[in-house]
Amino acid sequence: MNWETFLENLLGWLIAFGGKLILAIIVVTLGFKLTKLFLKLLMKSKRFHKIDPGAQTFIFSFLSITLNAVIVLTAVAILGVPMTNFVAVLGSAGLAIGLALQGSLANLAGGLMILMFHPFRIGNYIVADNVSGTVKEITILYTILDTPDNVRIVVPNGQLSNAVVQNYSVNETRRCEITLGVSYKSDMRNVLSVLKNMCNECEMVLRDPEPFVRISSYDESQITVKVRVWVKATDYWTVYFDLTEKAKEVFDANNIEIPFPQLDVHLDK
């Protein structure tokens, strides 16, 4: 083969490959833009907003990754890379990546489990696996929480799907409980009556079930009283702090003593 023939063949290959390369670049550029536009329109559609907010985030993440992957595969096919060989290489690479990313795959499966069984939803306040906060977002791999003091926590979905989850928002009502101690010198009938009236005077305390005020134990320095009332879940902490503060006021007004820890010592002569 002489140089002229070699150069002609090389030039022909470059022209053919250049055309494929330009087409592949156009497909990738246009495909990414169309994907972005499609996802933007999807997020604005009314039907999409009827879906559970947690599922919305998950679907958005899944579609974004899937569509972009299809675009890249299409561009590779345009370049003339044999798909059988490419799939074989991709399969081998996928196996290696899968072993390296077992945690991410577990998070993906965990995200699917969360969206299927709904142990919590966006806006719920949860406690799980030593973390707590309000659920702000459920993505394809992670769940994002905001704590009451506005600290963001990112929790892997695999970890959450296998944890015991306490959901404080799913039920409309909660039982609020405070523990109080009074002196052994106190008239206990009066103590229980005063505390019962205190609960009934609180507007946010529900009347059904009615407030529960009873002696729970006789301790070393005090008689311990349990006050239990039912409230709306959103009013829980307001009622808790209001009753705790009000208890001191009604005790003072009725000369009910809150005892300090004490020890009686008897001396033999």
pLDDT, tens digit, 9 for 90 and up, residues 123-144: 999 999 889 999 998 888 889 9
Distance between CA 142 and CA 58 in Å, rounded? Answer: 10
Mean pLDDT of the chain: 82
Q: In this model, does residue 99 exceed pLDDT 50? A: no
Q: Which fold has domain 173-253?
A: Alpha-Beta Plaits (3.30.70)
> Edge-to-edge strand order for the sheet containing 125-128?
152-156, 142-146, 131-138, 125-128, 165-167
3-100 is classed CATH 1.10.287.1260: yes
Share of the chain above pLDDT 70, in %: 80
Distance between CA 254 and CA 237 in Å, rounded? Answer: 26
* Backbone phi, psi, residue 169, to 5°: -115, -15
Quick one: CATH architecture of 110-167? Roll (2.30)
Of 229 and 41, more confident = 229
Of 12 and 147, more confident = 147
pLDDT tens column, 163-178: 899 999 989 999 999 9
83-100 vs 53-78: helix axis angle to the nearest 10? 140
The answer to whether 156 and 101 are in contact (CB under 8 A) is no
Which amino acid is present at 159?
A: Q
Q: In this model, does residue 40 exceed pLDDT 50? A: yes
User: Token pair for residue 197?
Assistant: 């009236």
Q: In this model, does residue 115 exceed pLDDT 70? A: yes
First to last CA, the chain: 127
Distance between CA 226 and CA 240 in Å, rounded? Answer: 13
Residue ranges, CATH 2.30.30.60, the chain: 110-167
- Between the alpha carbon of residue 207 and those of residues 148, 198, 199, 221, the distances in Å are 29, 13, 9, 33
pLDDT tens column, 203-246: 999 999 999 999 999 998 899 999 999 999 999 999 999 999 99
pLDDT of the residue at 27 = 79
pLDDT tens column, 18-34: 667 777 788 788 888 88
What is the chain's alpha carbon radius of gyration, rounded to the nearest angstrom?
33
pLDDT tens column, 226-238: 999 999 999 999 9
Among 198, 194, 259, 262, which Cα is nearest to 223's? 259
Residue ranges, CATH 1.10.287.1260, the chain: 3-100
* Backbone phi, psi, residue 255, to 5°: 55, 40
Residue ranges, CATH 3.30.70.100, the chain: 173-253
- Alpha-carbon dihedral 64, 68, 69, 75, rounded to 10 degrees: 170
Alpha carbons within 13 angstroms on the beta-carbon side of residue 209 total: 11
pLDDT of the residue at 81 = 67
Report residue 100's pLDDT band, with 50, 70 and 90 as the boundaries.
very low
56 Cβ contact partners less than 8 Å away, ≥ 6 residues apart? 43, 48, 49
pLDDT of the residue at 154 = 93
Q: In this model, does residue 77 exceed pLDDT 60? A: yes
* Backbone phi, psi, residue 182, to 5°: -130, 160
β-pairing verdict for 212-218 and 223-232: antiparallel
